[in-house]
Structure 1
Amino acid sequence: MHVAVTNRDGDIALVSIHGAIDINTAPALRDTMHQLLDAGRVRIVVDLAGVDFCDSIGLGTFAYTRNHCAAAGGFLRLAAPSPFLSRLLTTVGLTGPIPVHPTVTDALHEASAA
């Protein structure tokens, strides 16, 4: 898994993930999210277009990050999940508390308006 962070207008951090999020790779994602939160970056959009697998540790990382962002007046938005990942997010109930957008452009547009 590869994680990259891009700073966007309006202090939005775009986190792009490529590969599988599993027990071996989730710590890198968790570390990235902790670094953003520790730096006060609480407006985060995650690009999931390159993710081909996500286990419970990755899902837990999204839930944890969303809770901390919301507590600080920010947000976490997920963008461009595969059909598999979209079904998984819905099945585990994350699509209620975490907005999921079909594209990164849609997520950034909504995030900029927030």
Structure 2
Amino acid sequence: MTEHTGLAVGTEVNGGIPLVRVSGSLDAGSGDPVAAELDAVFETGPESVVLDLCEVDFLGSAGIALLINARHRAARLGIPFAVVADRRAVLRPLQISQVDSALPLHPTVADAVAAVRLLST
């Protein structure tokens, strides 16, 4: 996992599906490493992608924009994409901005992996 000021990001494979894990604050000052990690994953042409935000303790507007961009990129590439979020610090900003309805949100990694598997078959 790559560490940046207030943020850690890394990718592992969960049953053949890239799982990008993020921890810390996801905002204007820390979004670039996450965007770069997602870019690298999308460039491999995966069958699907899961973004795990369960360890994110702050989600700012730049982080929300990053999520929307990742969702749009996945859709353009025809890659099933899911976001794992179970903390109020992530869910509340998504609800307030009404982005929660535009993202495939799941409470656990297992739920997200099952959802993208279903879409990629």
Q: TM-score, normalised by structure 2?
A: 0.84
Equivalent residue pairs, number:
113
Counterpart of 1:22 in structure 2 is: 27
CA distance in 2 between counterparts of 1:98 and 1:107 reads: 12
Contact kept in structure 1, 2:22 and 2:53, CA below 8 Å: yes
Instruction: Give me the whole-angstrom Cα distance separating, in 2, the residues matched to 1:58 and 1:113.
Output: 27
Query: Is residue 13–residue 41 contact of structure 1 (8 Å, CA) maintained in 2?
Result: yes
Alignment of 1:71-86 (within 5 A): 71-86=76-91
Identity score, percent: 25
Structure 1 partner of 2:113: 108
| Counterpart residue number, 2:18 | 13
1:76 positional shift: 2.1
**Backbone CA RMSD of aligned residues:** 1.5
Q: Which runs of 5+ in 2 are unaligned?
A: 1-6
Name stretches of at least 5 consecutive residues in structure 1 with no aligned partner: none
For residues 16-70 of structure 1, the C-alpha deviation after alignment (integer angstroms, 9 at most, x for no partner) is 1111112221110111111122222362111111100011111111111110101
Moved more, 76-85 or 99-108: 76-85
